[in-house]
Amino acid sequence: MDDLIADFVAECREMLEALGGEIVAWEAQPDDRARLDSIFRFVHTVKGNCGFFEFPRLEALSHAAEDALADVRAGRRVPDAALVNAVLGIIDRIAEMVAAIDAGEDMPFGDDSALIAALAPGAEGPAVQSVVLEGQGKAAAAPRTIRLSIELLDRVMSTVSDMVLARNELARRLRESQAEVSVDGAFERLSSIIAEMRDAITRTRMQRIENLFVGLPRMVRDLSAELGKQVLVDVEGGDVELDREMIEMIRDPLTHIIRNAVDHGIEKPIDRHKAGKREIGLLSVSARQSGNQILIDIHDDGRGIDGKKLVENAIANKVIDKERAAQLNERERLALIFEAGLSTAKEVTSISGRGVGMDVVRSNVERIGGIVEVDSRPGEGTRMTLRVPLTLTIIPALTVSVGNQSFAIPRSAIEEIVRANGESVTLEHLGGAGVATIRGRRVPEVSLATILGLDSEVDEQDRRLIVLRPAGGDVYALSVDRIHDHEELVVKPAAPAVMATGLYAGTTLADDGSPILLFDPAGLAEVGGVKLEAQERAARIAEGPAEAASKATAVLLFRGLDGGRRALRLAIVDRIEEVPARAIRKSAGQLRVQVGEAILPLAGATSEQIGKEKVRIFRLNDGAHEIGYAFTEVLDFAAIESEVIHADRPGEVSGVSLINGEPAELVDGHWLFSNHVGAVAQSSQQLVCRIPCWDPWMQNMLRPLIEAAGYRVVSDAEEEEADVVIASLGEELAEDAGEKTIWLRSEPEPAHKKDDSIYRYDRAGLLTALKFAAGRAK
């Protein structure tokens, strides 16, 4: 009997998760028979099971709801707000009772007669104050499933992770073995099987983000009714999958953002009417996958955030002074909303407006390696974007060491790596604090050996500096003795005493089985005494004349397979891999390389240049695609500070420049991707082109192409008149650029016939548009 009750509780919970949104959506579309049928099936199922298990109160509630819904199905009654409210009340009471049954507790105390009486036709109920819109159409038939305990899944995942580590150790020993080994083929098959098993088990941890979204319509309905507002909710992307732990970790931040949007953002109907808006506000919540990240957008069409008021509050609360406040651009002003104690709410409500919450939202998202971004236009609305990793179990990381101790740093937080004794790097100690000046940019510098109390084995000037940008957006430099490999690490929680130090985000094992602690970059900064946001603001202001130097382009200097000295923009290099020569073969008209389970296009090599041993490759990433680039050795981390002599025609090499006193060919990342994953005349004048400063693809991939076409590139943070503006399709520009705007889309084909945007890898189309813009400017 206990097993049967457990199955009953589990079934009820699964159906209850979806019902809140179903009832609210049915209220908006009373003629939606599919939703009505799903609600009816739930109460009918509960009624039938309760008779078997002898739960009379549950049976009476579900029976009453079933009768009322049966009248609607038969056409004897038209659903109204009162009926919807009554059904919601009964569903809530059923949920309370199911929870009590699951916990082995007594049924909630109270009389259900008022709930049942509210179902009667003509019964009084609160007026409907929100309208909810969700996806339409019948739900697809659920796949066959089996229920497993979370603990069992975690044990299986842990075992598979151990297998991966054992495989890595075996691979290392085979590489170090001097003798001829005849087990390469068997080992490759074993590796493939383990990789497939790991991915399959990882999928069992994934859940549709719909489980996170399903309760939002009900929550917005209740909030808007309480606040006297009307809100239309549009939810998209419920089929996106995310690690179940991640779903739970972002539930509270997402809830807080939505409550703020309904409370602060969306105005009351009378205020919206005065502002020339429709009385019903729109709140859009969507999710999509981008690489190994999930992007969740929360967008409202409310009053927006007043950046000036935020700055005034920040000054009043002594977060920043007036001089620093005058230096902030609009994006930095909006970021002040994440400061503790700052709010633009005119009054305190029971929902929000106490000046707390958004700082907690950001810290909670950062704790799992995510980022919160905000964009707002006064009078038009606000967009909050949560960028979170797809899973917490396996993350890319860089291993480093101090003395004889090894550690790992999440690769997502690493901006660049430089030598402490490099030509463009200087180290100083001001007031007992370390400061690193990297190509004119001053950032705080802390020593990992000092933080951990370890003895360093190298001189200060011989250390490596890792420039870290924690999820909050500020930067600092961490000095370490040595830098080792980029690896995919299986991360597990560390002991509570270790986590309590604030330095670590978890623990993992190296391929030799030795334990490694994974650092929390923000925690390192805090323990090291770095005041991130204040330091970053001060550094930006202190740069002054050195601003031009700080714009020097960071590159990775290397030698190609043909012996040529070349440079790649550091921002597009994801990692370095070493693959066997047999993993490279010509397929579908071009060289391709198998790296693990991925097959990537390969540039920088010909079939004749591939030897019989191993080949080193860069994995280049534009945010959506990956390609490989073959090379022989890394020479240095450097910067382009001299004039670039551009090539006469488009190709793999965009130009040549002096780097560290010697000429180096500059590899054109845009050309590489346009020729491997995608389907010039220069202006005589120095025209100006504006691109977004926050878009890494445009800065790292598109900028060289624009400059080669004869334009001077400025960012949208600089107040300078531009001859042409380039923006992504759907982006809201700060001003109406009109005909000067070239719109780029991420898909090869346009969405509709009137879409005159250009595919971002259509090189010929981009150059033609730039040439046309140059002619128009003349």
Q: What is the CATH number of the domain that holds 488?
A: 2.30.30.40
| Mean local confidence (pLDDT), 473-497 | 76
Report the CATH number that the domain containing residue 51 is assigned in CATH.
1.20.120.160
**Backbone phi, then psi, for 124, in 5-degree steps?**
-75, 140
User: How many residues comprise the chain?
Assistant: 778
Give me the sign of the Cα torsion angle 570, 460, 474, 441. negative
User: Which stretches of 443-531 are DSSP H helices?
Assistant: 448-452, 496-499, 521-527
* Number of independent structural domains in the chain: 6
| Residue 299: predicted pLDDT | 92
Strand partners, 400: 407, 483
Report the CATH number that the domain containing residue 705 is assigned in CATH.
3.40.50.2300
Q: Tell whether 362 is covered by a domain.
A: yes
pTM: 0.46
pLDDT band at 292 (very low <50, low <70, confident <90, very high): low
Q: Which residue shows structure tokens 């739960």?
A: 55
User: Which stretches of 351-506 are DSSP H helices?
Assistant: 358-367, 448-452, 496-499
Q: Tell whether 613 is covered by a domain.
A: yes
Instruction: Reduce the DSSP state of residue 547 to 3 states and report it.
Output: helix
Contacts (Cβ under 8 Å, ≥6 apart) of 503: 451, 517, 519, 520, 523, 524, 527
Give me the sign of the Cα torsion angle 245, 248, 254, 256. negative
* Residue 339 and residue 212 share a domain: yes
Question: What distance in Å separates the CA atoms of residue 217 and residue 93, rounded to the nearest whole number?
Answer: 19
Contacts (Cβ under 8 Å, ≥6 apart) of 771: 680, 681, 683, 709
Residue 453 pLDDT greater than 60, yes or no: yes
Q: What is the 3-state secondary structure (H, E, C) of 627-648?
A: EEEEECEEEEEEEECCCCEECC
Q: Which percentage of the chain shows pLDDT scores above 90?
A: 5
| Mean local confidence (pLDDT), 536-564 | 58
* Residue 595 and residue 478 share a domain: no
Per the model's pLDDT, the better-predicted residue between 433 and 551 turns out to be 433
| Mean local confidence (pLDDT), 126-149 | 40
- For the record, the structure tokens of 625 come out as 């695609």
* Residue 332 and residue 418 share a domain: no
Question: What distance in Å separates the CA atoms of residue 106 and residue 65, rounded to the nearest whole number?
Answer: 23
Lowest mean pLDDT among 270-284, 392-406, 549-563: 549-563
Per the model's pLDDT, the better-predicted residue between 585 and 343 turns out to be 585
Query: Do 213 and 235 contact (CB within 8 A), yes or no?
Result: yes
* Residue 414 and residue 463 share a domain: yes
Per the model's pLDDT, the better-predicted residue between 690 and 246 turns out to be 690
Residue 532 pLDDT greater than 80, yes or no: no
Residue 297 pLDDT greater than 80, yes or no: yes
Q: What is the 3-state secondary structure (H, E, C) of 338-358?
A: HCCCCCCCCCCCCCCCCCCCH
pLDDT band at 392 (very low <50, low <70, confident <90, very high): low
* Residue 719 and residue 624 share a domain: no
Question: What distance in Å separates the CA atoms of residue 297 and residue 236, rounded to the nearest whole number?
Answer: 10
Query: Do 499 and 493 contact (CB within 8 A), yes or no?
Result: yes
Q: Tell whether 143 is covered by a domain.
A: no
| Mean local confidence (pLDDT), 547-559 | 64
* Residue 366 and residue 272 share a domain: yes
pLDDT band at 124 (very low <50, low <70, confident <90, very high): low
* Residue 521 and residue 402 share a domain: yes
Q: Kindly state the DSSP code that residue 698 receives in the 8-state scheme.
A: I
The amino acid at residue 576 is I
| Residue 667: predicted pLDDT | 92
* Residue 516 and residue 375 share a domain: no
pLDDT band at 540 (very low <50, low <70, confident <90, very high): very low
pLDDT band at 127 (very low <50, low <70, confident <90, very high): very low
Q: What is the pLDDT of residues 155-168, one digit of tens each?
A: 777 777 777 777 77
Contacts (Cβ under 8 Å, ≥6 apart) of 621: 291, 572, 574
Q: What is the pLDDT of residues 708-737, one digit of tens each?
A: 888 888 887 777 788 889 988 877 665 555
Q: What is the pLDDT of residues 440-452, one digit of tens each?
A: 777 888 889 888 8
* Residue 494 and residue 539 share a domain: yes
| Residue 665: predicted pLDDT | 92
Question: What distance in Å separates the CA atoms of residue 350 and residue 262, rounded to the nearest whole number?
Answer: 13
* Residue 598 and residue 570 share a domain: yes
| Residue 133: predicted pLDDT | 30
Which of 299, 372, 295, 290 shows the shortest CA–CA distance to 338? 372
Q: Tell whether 124 is covered by a domain.
A: no
| Mean local confidence (pLDDT), 391-403 | 77
Q: How big, in percent rounded to 5, are the helix, strand and coil portions of the chain?
A: 40, 25, 35
Residue 496 pLDDT greater than 70, yes or no: no
Residue 550 pLDDT greater than 70, yes or no: no
pLDDT band at 566 (very low <50, low <70, confident <90, very high): very high
Instruction: Reduce the DSSP state of residue 597 to 3 states and report it.
Output: coil
Query: Do 306 and 378 contact (CB within 8 A), yes or no?
Result: yes
**Backbone phi, then psi, for 620, in 5-degree steps?**
-95, 140
Please work out, in degrees rounded to the nearest 5, the angle formed at the alpha carbon of residue 57 by the alpha carbons of 51 and 60: 70
Question: What distance in Å separates the CA atoms of residue 654 and residue 328, rounded to the nearest whole number?
Answer: 35
Q: CB count, 10 Å around CB of 343?
A: 20
Which of 670, 655, 693, 650 shows the shortest CA–CA distance to 758? 670
Which of 225, 168, 215 shows the shortest CA–CA distance to 195? 168
Q: What is the pLDDT of residues 130-141, one digit of tens each?
A: 322 333 333 333
Q: 113-117, 313-317, 664-668 — which one is most confidently predicted on average?
A: 664-668
Residue 466 pLDDT greater than 60, yes or no: yes
Half-sphere exposure of 316 (CA within 13 A, CB side): 10
Q: Tell whether 137 is covered by a domain.
A: no
Residue 385 pLDDT greater than 70, yes or no: yes
Please work out, in degrees rounded to the nearest 5, the angle formed at the alpha carbon of residue 85 by the alpha carbons of 83 and 89: 115
Last residue of a domain, one of 354, 389, 424: 389
* Residue 198 and residue 212 share a domain: no
Give, in order, the Cα–Cα distances in Å from 314 to each of 324, 340, 364, 444, 483.
Answer: 11, 10, 22, 23, 40
Q: Tell whether 131 is covered by a domain.
A: no
Q: Which residue shows structure tokens 């009768």?
A: 67
Q: Tell whether 717 is covered by a domain.
A: yes
Average predicted confidence (pLDDT) for the chain = 77
Last residue of a domain, one of 523, 549, 575: 549
pLDDT band at 179 (very low <50, low <70, confident <90, very high): low
Which of 518, 525, 603 shows the shortest CA–CA distance to 568? 603
pLDDT band at 382 (very low <50, low <70, confident <90, very high): very high
- For the record, the structure tokens of 302 come out as 């409310």
* DSSP assignment string, 94-129: HHHHHHHHHHTPPPPPS--HHHHHTTSTT---PPP-
- For the record, the structure tokens of 518 come out as 């994974």
Q: CB count, 10 Å around CB of 396?
A: 17
Last residue of a domain, one of 676, 711, 729: 676
Residue 548 pLDDT greater than 70, yes or no: no
* Residue 692 and residue 605 share a domain: no
Report the CATH number that the domain containing residue 268 is assigned in CATH.
3.30.565.10
Domain of 710 in residue numbering reads as 687-777
Residue 143 pLDDT greater than 80, yes or no: no
Which of 140, 124, 128 shows the shortest CA–CA distance to 30? 128
Q: Tell whether 130 is covered by a domain.
A: no
| Mean local confidence (pLDDT), 360-377 | 80
Q: Kindly state the DSSP code that residue 492 receives in the 8-state scheme.
A: B
| Mean local confidence (pLDDT), 554-563 | 86
